[in-house]
Amino acid sequence: MRIGYIAANTFREAVRDRVLYNLIVFAFLMIGASLVLGQITIGVERELLVNLGLAAIAFFGVLIAIFIGIGLVSKEIDKRTVYTVLTRPVQRWQFILGKYFGLVGTLAVNTFFMGCGLFLALLYMTHKFERADIYVLIAIFFVFLQMVIVTSFTMLFSSFSTPIESAVMAFCFFVIGSFSTDLHSLSASAKGIVKVFATIAAYVVPNISALNVSTAVAHGEAVAGATVALNLGYALLYSGAMVAAAALIFQRRNMK
Amino acid sequence: MSTARPTVTLTLAVGILFSCALILLHNIDARRGSAIIRESLYISSPAALKRMSLGYNGLLADIYWTRAVQYFGSHHARSAEEYDLLYPLLDITTQLDPKLIVAYRFGATFLAERPPMGAGQPEKAVQLVRNGIQHNPDDWHLYYDLGFLQAWNLHDYVGASRTFANGAVLPHTNPVMGVLAASYATKGGDISTAMLLWQTTYQNNQNEMIRQNALQHIQSIQSDEAVTELEEVISRYEEQTGHAPESFLNLVYAGMLKGTPLDPTGQPYELLPGGKIQVQDPDSLPFITKGAPPGWKRKTVPLP
């Protein structure tokens, strides 16, 4: 219940943030631009719209997750409002979890609206929905899972560092996570100490590339139900571990 | 009054400075010209581009494909003889997204046609489509395109027959693949097989540019056949009368023609002194090999 109140307050606070609306406007502009770009190419109008639309949702969603996520805890400490909350019967881990759910809720609403924008653009282009569009919906869900993970490690970084440092670390972590397939290939082919480091890195960084199916769905390729279940499970477990680590650090943090 | 003056001044400043910036930008664009496309190839490694895309290689492939289309379109519009960057652009596109069938199919057409209609690089077109088959072995369209290139551009009728036969056994194939395989195995490159090839292209393509190109080839083949037949009729007339006909009316009165013959676009043929046949508007039949006026050169057909 207490987590719910904190989450609801975090959601209200996040939707008042101007950064959020600026980024959403840019995402819609990019989706709209893909309709214009479709006019100067041949035969890939739908592919371009799906690819650019999903990339825009992911890119701006991740930016929102990072830029709002870095301030969730630090702002409360700077404004000293955290003391007001923590003097009530609220555990520190409940505070962290509430903040996390609040931002994830905000991102869910954003992704929903940006997804609607993409589907409206698809409808405008093709004048009908087709079976392959279900897979675009799954791809949007995977983008949301990426944001769930990004929010979790952004909160982890922000629990022990400044907002700027957290933003840089979170962005680097996201980029390295996008190369996770390469890290797995490196760990398979390397030897000795390099193999050990590559293997550790491949499993520690989030596997963002597994959650990117945009190229396949742009071609109308199906996404297997097992893939959806496994990706959902992975995202929940990984982000759960990150949020638990953030709560652990925050629990031990000296607030005086 | 005191606040209005700075507002007006600043508004004017915004307008003037922005207008000047636009004028400068216009000049900059004019200086850069076609160099804009060249710059894009400073990164020519598909592997590096793939990594830089952070997993959105499909999006990057779409962008490179659009650049290839724009590159081809701009060169085609000014009847260029050289298309140096076309194959590298297509290669990058298809390596970024090996399932982008449209890039293999249109790309091969752009590469194979002789200048100024295309790049005149049929070997590279074959290489591109072979790469496409390697990544999409169940798509009969690619076998059709490869067989087409082998037959029409390289005159390798045995290879074409084998490719059509390979495509004929695929699931969801087009029955014409078997017909083409048999035709090329028995008849090689005769006109009826060539006609079947272009008719299949015309019927199986949704794109207006490809269909228009196929239609012009079909009409040009029909015109070549008609010119051959008319010249045979004229030879027979000369044998019977001892002189060349002065007009088509002579042939009509002799019962050899029913009326003034028309080319496939509906224009009447011209009968020149000496009994030669000539088409009135060779630009509407750009692929003819017979009946073109002396000195006529094929022009670029504008893209639809």
Q: What is the C-alpha separation between B107 and B101, in angstroms, rounded?
A: 10
Complex ipTM above 0.85?
no
Provide the percentage of residues in chain B whose pLDDT is more than 70: 92
Write out chain B residues lying below 8 Å of A179, CB-based.
Answer: 51, 54
Task: Select from A47, A58, A179 the Cβ nearest to the Cβ of B51.
Answer: A179
pLDDT at A180 over 90: no
Cβ within 8 Å, pair B69-A42: yes
Q: Distances from the Cα of A94 to the Cαs of A78, A97, A244, B54, in angstroms?
A: 19, 5, 10, 34
pLDDT tens digits, one per residue of A214-242: 999 999 999 999 999 999 999 999 999 99
Query: What's the rounded mean pLDDT across residues B71-80?
Result: 83
- Which residue of chain B has the CA closest to A177? B54
pLDDT at B304: 41
The label of the residue with tokens 């890039």 reads B103
pLDDT tens digits, one per residue of B230-241: 999 999 999 888
A209 near B CB under 8 A = yes
Write out chain A residues lying below 8 Å of B102, CB-based.
Answer: 42-44
Q: What is the C-alpha separation between A20 and B287, in angstroms, rounded?
A: 58
Cβ within 8 Å, pair B62-A175: no
Q: What is the C-alpha separation between A114 and A140, in angstroms, rounded?
A: 9
pLDDT at B37 over 50: no
The CATH code of the domain at B40-212 is: 1.25.40.10
A218 near B CB under 8 A = yes
Bigger pLDDT: A52 or A16? A52
- DSSP 8-state secondary structure symbol assigned to residue B117: T
Q: Which domain holds residue A161?
A: 2-252
Interface A–B counts its CB contacts (< 8 A) at: 67
Write out chain A residues lying below 8 Å of B212, CB-based.
Answer: none
Q: What phi and psi values does residue A109 have, to the nearest 5 degrees?
A: -65, -45
pLDDT at A60 over 70: yes
A36 near B CB under 8 A = no
A154 near B CB under 8 A = no
- Which residue of chain B has the CA closest to A47? B62
CA A162, A163, A164, A167 dihedral sign is positive
pLDDT tens digits, one per residue of B169-218: 999 888 888 888 887 877 776 777 778 878 887 887 777 777 888 888 88
pLDDT at B133 over 70: yes
What are the sequence ranges of the domains in chain B? 40-212, 224-284
Confidence label for B3 from pLDDT (cuts 50, 70 and 90): low
**Mean pLDDT, chain B, as a whole number?**
85
Query: What's the rounded mean pLDDT across residues A189-196?
Result: 85
pLDDT at B303: 45
Cβ within 8 Å, pair A41-B106: no
Tally of structural domains, chain A: 1
The label of the residue with tokens 């987590």 reads A3
pLDDT at B154 over 80: yes
Confidence label for B39 from pLDDT (cuts 50, 70 and 90): very low
